[in-house]
Each structure stands twice: as structure tokens, then as C-alpha cells.
Amino acid sequence: MSHLDISTGQIVANAAETERASFIKRTYVHLAGAIAAFAVIETLLIQSGVATSFMGLLSGSKWSWLIVLGAFMLVSTVANNWAHSAISREKQYMGLGLFVIAEAIIFMPLIYMAVARAPDVLQNAVVVTAALVGGLTFTAFSTKINFSFMGRFLMIGGFIAMGLILASILFGFSLGLWFSGAMILFAAASVLYSTSNIIHEYNTEQHVAASLSLFSSVGLLFWYILQFMLSMGGDD
């Protein structure tokens, strides 16, 4: 096991240019690896028939989705804590890997429906997500503004969104296009916030945690873009 010294590393913005560039490169290489792993796992889940069984399980009771959502939130918290470990690099990678698996499972119903009903929409959602992430990344790095002030607003917005989602599951109503549209804006802000944090909040030894944060934000954006496009096509 490789042990990390909690005192090593410094805030990326204060690091030497070469060290800063190296950190950013490592972060985005890990993000690309997480996205690739997510795609592979998702493909295996769908092609193996696991997704079909999972859809049947979810359709059995409204409580099933609440249990899955609760489990995802719990696993995400554990994964994030591991990824921020200042003791073990292996534990950081375990956290990132655990989160990728959890994300693939939570995405399974949406991806399954997209593949079955509108594969072109799935491809379009990928392209739109990539374009938005690229634009937001350029904005964060070119302006060099510290967007950490957005954290409190994102936390409040996240609690409100989660409350609405739970209410929709419990009482059986649809949140509709307006909610998906609002969540796209929320997720875009989250990507901008996470990208800004790479420079202004993380230290040079936290590229695994930084990549997990970015992966989570990009995943959220992709989820609501895909959901919005499916709804626009009448495939709720």
C-alpha cells in the first residue's frame, strides 16, 4: 500500500506552473478513464440482461426506486470519503471505482430506456453533454474566477431538487420538462463549480478526488440532458 503524507501537496493555484499542469492532466486522464469504465460497465449490464431484470424490480413497487436511490447516496458518500483519503492512494482509487460502479447502476434504467426507444437521442445527449462540458471547462480556466462561492447555492438547490424527486416518487406525479430544464442549469453550474475547484480548492495530491467530483457533475448533466431529450420526444 502506498502511503500519502497529509502535509504534502499545496493548493494547485499556488503551485509551480509545471506542477499545476501535471495535476490538471492527471485529473482529466482519470476523468476520461472513469467515463470509459462507466461506458463499459453500462454496456455489460445492458447486454447481459441485468438491466432488464433491474427494470422489472423497479416496476414492482415505488419503494424499490427509493431504496436504490438511498443506497446510491450512501455508497456515493463512502466513495467520496475514500477518494479524499490522505492516507492511502489505493483507497482513493477504490473510492473512484466504487463511485463509477454506483453511477452505472443508477443510470441503468435511463440508459436502458434510451437504447430501447431512442438510440439516436442517447448519442445526441452524449454530444450535447460533451459540448457543454467543454464550454464550461474553457470558461472556468480562461476566466480564472474562483467559483467556490457557488457551493452554498448548489447545496441548497440540491436539497430542494432531492425533496421534489422524493415527493414525485412517493406521490406518483411527474416533474416534467421544466424540472429537467432547471436541473440542466443546476448541473451545468455544478460542472463549472467542480472545474473551478480543481485549481482553487484541491491540492496537488488530490487528482483522484478531483476527477471523482468532475465525473459526478458531468454525470448529473448527462442524466438531465438525456431525460430532457427523451421527454421532448414523448418517451417519458
Mind listing the pLDDT tens digit for each residue in 148-181? Answer: 888 889 899 888 988 888 888 777 777 778 888 9
Would residue 2 count as lying in a domain? no
From the list 157, 10, 40, 47, the residue with the least C-alpha distance to 104 is 40
Residue 3 phi/psi, 5-degree rounding, is: -95, 145
Cell 431504496 sits at which residue? 67
Q: Show the domain range for 186.
A: 12-232
Would residue 75 count as lying in a domain? yes
Please give the Cα distance from 216 to 113 (Å, whole number).
21
How many CB atoms lie under 10 A from the CB of residue 87?
13
Would residue 62 count as lying in a domain? yes
- How far CA 186 is from CA of 107, 110, 127, 218, in Å, comes to 18, 19, 19, 11
So what's the pLDDT on residue 8? 54
**Ranges of H-type helices in 61-175:** 62-83, 89-117, 119-143, 151-171
So what's the pLDDT on residue 5? 42
- How far CA 181 is from CA of 143, 188, 215, in Å, comes to 26, 11, 20
The residue that leads in pLDDT, 17 or 90, is 90
100 contacts: CB under 8 Å, gap ≥ 6: 34, 37, 38, 41, 215
Would residue 4 count as lying in a domain? no
Would residue 6 count as lying in a domain? no
Would residue 150 count as lying in a domain? yes
How many domains is the chain built from?
Answer: 1
